């Protein structure tokens, strides 16, 4: 894909962080945007910031865990733009709690937000992409989709699930010219740790020191769009330490496991 001009791009989690940065990056390249998150006022702010006219932006505020709304949302997009070219699965929530302390409902919430919501939306829009014989899924996974770490068991599990599901979708949809790019960010300077949930489902409310030192979401978005243009299947974004850990696990797994065990979160 050489250009995003007039491509219809649906972004979940578009009200802040990586999602907002992706929206701004696509807008600069002339795409038409569909913005989804829970907070309508924040979506309105992002819409205004893009500078796009009303004819090029559709705001669809809803909670992605309301799975029954996915089909209606997809139909509304088709009614306005007649197609969906790119789906950015970005909505997500992180976790900060030990397994022994964590309620089962917390794990359910993590899987609902990070995994099942993407499945529901994917199934809602896949028939349209098959009909138009084109489409591209951008799936925001994580380095945590490759490596299990302390106090993030449910988050890690949900991101591992994304990897497996969308690897399968990539293979199954190849003949329909539908593509998948999986993004594995490391530390990006967003509020993901502040908004993470604790063992009872409450808000963690603290900024991780590594997160605070992470790369800017705008740089993350730039690399994502570049990867899609090049039809990359999977990319890793972040500092040397977290990206290198993926390769260490592949070639020296025992070394990586020892390092993870000793890396107690601050």
Nearest of 68, 47, 44 to residue 57 by alpha carbon: 47
Q: Could you tell me where the beta strands, DSSP code E, fall in 31-175?
A: 32-36, 57-59, 86-89, 135-140
- Output DSSP code: residue 204: -
Q: Quick one: which of 6, 2, 58 has its CA closest to 31?
A: 6
Rg (CA), the chain: 18
12, 74 in Cβ contact below 8 A?
no
From residue 118, alpha-carbon distances to 52, 76, 187, 250 in Å are 26, 18, 22, 27
| C-alpha pair distances (Å), 252 with each of 18, 146, 245, 247 | 31, 14, 10, 8
Q: Which of 98, 155, 187, 247 is catalytic?
A: 155
Q: Is 155 a catalytic residue?
A: yes
Distance CA 11, CA 37 (A): 9
Cβ atoms 256, 245 nearer than 8 A: yes
Q: How far is CA 39 from CA 73, 119, 163, in A?
A: 16, 22, 28
| Residues forming the active site | 155
């Amino acid at each position: 894909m050489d250009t995003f001009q007039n491509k219809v791009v649906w972004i979940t989690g578009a009200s802040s962080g990586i999602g907002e940065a992706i929206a701004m990056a696509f807008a600069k390249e002339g795409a038409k945007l569909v913005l989804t998150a829970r907070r309508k006022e924040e979506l309105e702010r992002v819409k205004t910031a893009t500078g796009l006219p009303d004819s090029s932006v559709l705001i669809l505020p809803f909670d992605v865990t309301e799975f029954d709304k996915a089909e209606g949302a997809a139909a509304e997009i088709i009614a306005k733009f007649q197609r969906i070219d790119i789906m950015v699965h970005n909505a997500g929530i992180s976790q900060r709690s030990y397994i022994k302390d964590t309620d089962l409902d917390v794990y359910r919430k993590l899987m609902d937000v990070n995994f099942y919501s993407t499945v529901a939306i994917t199934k809602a829009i896949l028939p349209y992409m098959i009909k138009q014989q084109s489409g591209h899924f951008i799936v925001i996974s994580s380095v945590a989709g490759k490596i299990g770490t302390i106090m993030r068991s449910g988050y890690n599990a949900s991101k591992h699930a994304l990897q497996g599901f969308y690897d399968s979708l990539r293979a199954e949809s190849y003949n329909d010219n539908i593509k998948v790019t999986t993004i594995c960010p490391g530390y990006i300077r967003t509020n993901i740790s502040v908004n993470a949930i604790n063992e009872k489902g409450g808000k963690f409310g603290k900024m991780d020191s590594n997160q605070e030192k992470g790369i800017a979401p705008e740089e993350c978005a730039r690399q994502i769009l570049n990867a899609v243009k090049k039809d990359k299947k999977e990319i890793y974004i972040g500092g040397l330490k977290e990206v290198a850990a993926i390769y260490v696990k592949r070639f020296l797994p025992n070394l990586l496991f020892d390092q993870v065990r000793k890396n107690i979160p601050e």
